[in-house]
Amino acid sequence: MHFTLTDLVTDITQNAVEAGAGIVELEVSSLSNESDGNGEFRFLVKDNGKGMTEEELKKAIDPFYTDGIKHPHRKVGLGLPFLIQTAEQSGGGWDIKSEKGKGTVVTAWFDSGNFDTPPLGDLPGMFRTILMFNSDAEIIIRRKKLGGENTVLSEYEVVKSEVIDAVGSLEDAASLVLLGEYLTSLEND
Ligand SMILES: Nc1ncnc2c1ncn2[C@@H]1O[C@H](COP(=O)(O)OP(=O)(O)OP(=O)(O)O)[C@@H](O)[C@H]1O
Ligand SMILES: [Mg+2]
Report the CATH number of the 5-188 domain: 3.30.565
Q: Is the CB of 103 under 6 A from ligand 1?
A: no
pLDDT of residue 68: 63
Provide the Cα torsion 182, 7, 80, 171; round to 10°: 50
R_g (Cα) of the chain, nearest Å:
17
Pocket test for ligand 1, best of 9, 15, 26, 85 (most atoms within 8 A of CB): 15
Residue type, 33: N
Instruction: Give the residue, by CA position, lying nearest to ligand 1 atom 13.
Output: 60
Residue 4 vs residues 40, 96, 120, 121, 174: alpha-carbon distances, Å: 15, 21, 5, 5, 27
Ligand 1 neighbourhood includes 21 CB (under 6 angstroms) = no
Q: Is the CB of 92 under 6 A from ligand 1?
A: no
Tell me the domain boundaries of the chain: 5-188
- State residue 3's pLDDT score: 87
Per-residue pLDDT of the chain (189 residues; tens, 9 = 90+): 578 999 999 999 999 999 999 999 999 999 987 666 679 999 999 999 999 999 999 999 987 776 666 665 554 446 899 999 999 999 999 999 999 999 999 999 999 999 999 999 999 999 999 999 999 999 999 999 999 888 999 999 999 999 999 988 898 999 999 999 999 999 998
Nearest C-alpha neighbor of 16 from the set 32, 5, 3, 27 = 27
Task: Tell me which ligand sits closest to the C-alpha of residue 83.
Answer: 1
Distance 19 CA to ligand 2 centre (A): 10
Q: Which atom belonging to ligand 1 lies closest to the Cα atom of 51?
A: 4
